């Protein structure tokens, strides 16, 4: 029975996530948080909490065997909402410009008619 308890305690200390950095370094750790721009882990070797930029991380191999990779984006895709907003602003500017031109044309035409 005591051998089983020792084995259970020992196996729990070995179970960990592994973070692989693009620099080639890898650390046994517990992943605490994966955010949009950064990953926070607890390094098991010295029990230090570290935060890595997403761009520094190549992959994380989780304790359960799942692997999360972080490929380098060669070119950031523009946010669709920003693209739609820019299109709407351009269309609005063109529409306003058209209205201004139309109003000026009508005013000129009325002025010419009034002169006759």
Q: pTM of the entire structure?
A: 0.52
Q: Residue 91's domain spans which residues?
A: 77-116
* Average pLDDT of the segment spanning 3-8: 42
CATH number, domain of 22, equals 2.30.30.100
Sheet of 17-21: strand order equals 48-53, 38-43, 26-34, 17-21, 57-61, 67-69
Q: Are residues 92 and 114 in the same domain?
A: yes
Q: Are residues 84 and 109 in the same domain?
A: yes
Q: Are residues 64 and 84 in the same domain?
A: no
Cβ pair 30, 42 in contact under 8 A: yes
Structural domains counted in the chain: 2
Per-residue pLDDT tens over the stretch 8-57: 444 444 568 999 999 999 999 999 999 989 999 999 989 999 999 999 99
């Amino acid at each position: 029975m005591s051998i089983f308890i020792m084995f259970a305690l020992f196996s729990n200390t070995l179970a960990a996530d592994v973070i692989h950095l693009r620099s080639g370094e890898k650390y046994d750790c517990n992943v605490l948080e994966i955010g949009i721009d950064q990953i926070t882990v607890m390094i098991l070797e010295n029990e230090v909490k570290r935060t890595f930029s997403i761009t520094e991380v190549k992959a994380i191999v989780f304790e359960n065997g799942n692997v999360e990779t972080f490929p380098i984006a060669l070119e950031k895709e523009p946010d669709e909402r920003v693209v739609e907003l820019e299109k709407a602003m351009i269309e609005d500017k063109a529409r306003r410009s058209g209205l201004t031109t139309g109003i000026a044309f009508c005013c000129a035409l009325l002025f010419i008619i009034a002169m006759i």
